Amino acid sequence: MPIESVMLTARVTWDSDRFVAKVDQLPLECDGESVEEAQDHLIQMMRSWIEENDGTDTLEELLADAGFPDVSEDTELQLEFVD
């Protein structure tokens, strides 16, 4: 049975001279001059990543490899920023 929704976790950390936002379960990473900018860039990147892979088996395969084996094209992806 397919999962209805998946909550992906993201974190923003300070790295020398910039803020870096990363999704814990996926190889998605962006940076910015502020926490908000790094978060905004990551959200935009994630949307683009979903659009590029939507409707293909690639999205389901990548999410299965990240620990979400029962996703389908109807599964809602959510991104939560934590400390």
pLDDT of residue 11: 98
pLDDT of residue 18: 97
Task: Count CA within 13 A, CB hemisphere, residue 10.
Answer: 27
Q: What is the per-residue pLDDT across 53-72, written as a single tens digit (0 to 9) for each?
A: 877 778 888 889 999 998 88
b/e 33-62 (16+ beta carbons within 10 angstroms → b): eeeebbbebbeeebeebeeeeeeeeebbeb
CATH number corresponding to 5-82: 3.30.160
Residue spans of the chain under pLDDT 50: none
Q: pTM of this prediction?
A: 0.88
